[in-house]
Structure 1
């Protein structure tokens, strides 16, 4: 009896060595949602600007992506919208590249991607964010996210 073999395993390589290529998921109000891996590939290839929309405190305490543009969507404390967000984003994308937007869990980055689109920019939300969703014990960083996937980051 023939068994179907997933396309990413047809080479005989282990699954981890040949994952299916990540795709862009359509979204309403912005260019789409992308996996952390695809966002990182675009960024490292120079096709996109990685914009970290978390607060300064989050980047300092939880970790940051070296080379990302730090531009908070909301300001700590109080989480008021950053009055300089539009200007900062337009300056970061002055070269015409697309933006890949990163936040803690992939929620604020959706709002930031929608705002970027309103400004006439091509913007994508990074799924899972920097820390991913909480697990059954309410801990982040164990179920996805930029850091979980071993993409470039550091903690000061």
Structure 2
């Protein structure tokens, strides 16, 4: 097993354990959304979720999941624009997005963490876009230890 896959498994196990403890203490949980669920929601005729990219400027400068906005853009958006829409956060492997989704959920926002994040999106062979909205195969995987399918151009 590759080092990146070990890190992904450790992250998933760690955040799962944190959630289990939080829920056992009666604290609000953070829901997760799978790649298939997010892809379906983004392409639904119903109001799509607000997809918030919490990665670093360097990562976002390479690409994003189509339709995503930055954390800064989200925080500057009026409540009326977001009314009734679920917020889904993502990063590279789901850690930074978990913490942000947890903060949003604690403040009463309907938020979920896309735990598979951009690596899961790429592993499903789904499209990316550049910051200016153009289709791209470039992706910043945070660390080179994370496997990205060959059809993507890794930029770090």
- Whichever of the two has the greater Rg, that structure is 1
**Aligned residues, how many?**
105
Q: Which residue of 1 aligns with 2:60?
A: 59
Deviation at 1:94, TM superposition (A): 2.4
Map of 1:1-150 to 2, 5 A cutoff? 27=19, 28=23, 29-45=28-44, 46-61=47-62, 63-71=63-71, 87-88=75-76, 91=79, 94-131=82-119, 145-150=120-125
Whether the 8 Å CA contact 2:52–2:74 is kept in 1: the answer is no
Whether the 8 Å CA contact 2:32–2:114 is kept in 1: the answer is yes
Deviation at 1:48, TM superposition (A): 1.2
TM-score computed with the length of structure 2 as normaliser: 0.56
Q: Which residue of 2 aligns with 1:17?
A: none
Task: Tell which has more relative contact order, 1 or 2 (C-alpha 8 A, sep 6+).
Answer: 2
Structure 1 gap ranges (5+): 1-24, 72-83, 132-144
1:75-94 Cα distance to aligned partner (Å, 9 max, x none) = xxxxxxxxx58733665962
DSSP 3-state at the match of 1:130: helix
Whether the 8 Å CA contact 2:65–2:118 is kept in 1: the answer is no
Q: Which residue of 2 aligns with 1:8?
A: none
Q: 1:109 to 1:118 in 2, by over 3 A?
A: same
Measured on the aligned residues, the alpha-carbon RMSD in Å equals 2.7
Deviation at 1:128, TM superposition (A): 1.7
Whether the 8 Å CA contact 2:30–2:98 is kept in 1: the answer is no
Whether the 8 Å CA contact 2:53–2:69 is kept in 1: the answer is yes
Q: 1:123 to 1:89 in 2, by over 3 A?
A: farther
